[in-house]
């Protein structure tokens, strides 16, 4: 066996060991009831799928020539493990279909919690100033240190205009934030979903191409 071939196999086994470490860390702590954890963990598996794929290819490079009996047993196990990995990645596709709606609802709730109090506050100011009597307007002007001689009605119109502008800005910011987060969520779902399908096919191909190791 050539030194290059030995190096290929050593690196392959090393990559598979590193993958095992990633899998262990990914599942600690286990949060199966958390859609966010499911989505991000599944996406992490897809993003790092190249490492185990390369590891399997390097380990199985060349057939059983010059393989020791102990290694043949390991290769048999790895061949079946490739099938399990393929099925696992196909299962991940389901995650990218069922979790985005729940994550989108959660994201919208967070944006609402951020902007709704500000919008409500501005609307309260509009209601208060809109119904204010002349004496109340003068008190507001005094509290806000408005220069003497300012027309109360002009002050009222200015406050209402500024409040309306602020309300519109808050609503626009909330809509933009919601839209951006929704787009990013569904882009990742599509990318990772397709990636999981491709990875699953590749693992099944590795399993099919290593029938010699299972004999």
- The alpha carbon of 130 is separated from its chain's Cα centroid by a whole number of angstroms, namely 45
pTM of the entire predicted model: 0.82
Q: Where are the domains of the chain?
A: 3-214
Cis upstream peptide for 29 (omega within 30°): yes
pLDDT average, residue stretch 52-75: 86
144-197: per-residue pLDDT in tens? Answer: 676 766 677 887 888 889 889 999 999 999 999 999 999 999 999 999 999 999
Listed in sequence order, the residues at least 6 apart from 151 whose beta carbon sits closer than 8 Å to its beta carbon are none
Separation CA 213–CA 86 (nearest Å): 17
**87-107 exposure pattern, b = at least 16 Cβ within 10 A, e = fewer:** ebbbebbebbeebbeebbeeb
Name the H helices within the chain.
3-26, 35-47, 50-60, 69-130, 134-143, 152-209
**What burial class does residue 213 get, using C-beta atoms within 10 Å of its C-beta: 0-12 exposed, 13-18 middle, 19+ buried?**
buried
pLDDT average, residue stretch 8-13: 93
Structure tokens given for 100:
């985005």
Separation CA 181–CA 32 (nearest Å): 23
Q: How far is CA 74 from CA 65, 69, 168, in A?
A: 15, 9, 65
Please give the helix or strand (H or E) that residue 149 lies within, else none.
none
pLDDT of 137: 75
Question: What pLDDT band is residue 61 in, cutting at 50, 70 and 90?
Answer: confident
Separation CA 111–CA 175 (nearest Å): 9
Helix axes 152-209, 134-143, angle to 10 degrees: 70
Phi/psi of residue 62, nearest 5 degrees: 70, 160
């Amino acid at each position: 066996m050539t030194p290059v071939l030995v190096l290929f196999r050593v690196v392959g086994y090393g990559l598979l060991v590193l993958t095992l470490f990633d899998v262990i860390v990914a599942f600690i702590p286990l949060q199966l009831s958390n859609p966010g954890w499911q989505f991000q963990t599944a996406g992490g598996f897809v993003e790092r799928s190249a490492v185990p794929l390369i590891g399997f290819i390097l380990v199985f490079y060349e057939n059983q020539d010059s393989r020791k009996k102990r290694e043949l047993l390991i290769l048999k196990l790895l061949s079946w493990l490739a099938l399990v990995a393929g099925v696992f990645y196909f299962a991940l596709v389901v995650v990218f279909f069922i979790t985005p709606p729940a994550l989108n609802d959660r994201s919208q709730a967070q944006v609402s919690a951020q902007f709704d109090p500000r919008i409500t506050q501005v609307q309260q100011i509009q209601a208060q100033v809109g119904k204010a009597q002349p004496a109340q307007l003068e008190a507001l002007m005094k509290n806000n240190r408005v220069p003497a001689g300012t027309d109360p009605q002009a002050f009222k119109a200015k406050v209402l205009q500024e409040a309306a502008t602020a309300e519109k800005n808050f609503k626009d910011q909330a809509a933009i934030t919601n839209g951006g987060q929704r787009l990013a969520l569904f882009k990742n779902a599509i990318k990772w979903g397709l990636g999981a399908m491709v990875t699953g096919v590749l693992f099944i191909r590795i399993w099919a191409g290593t029938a010699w190791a299972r004999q």
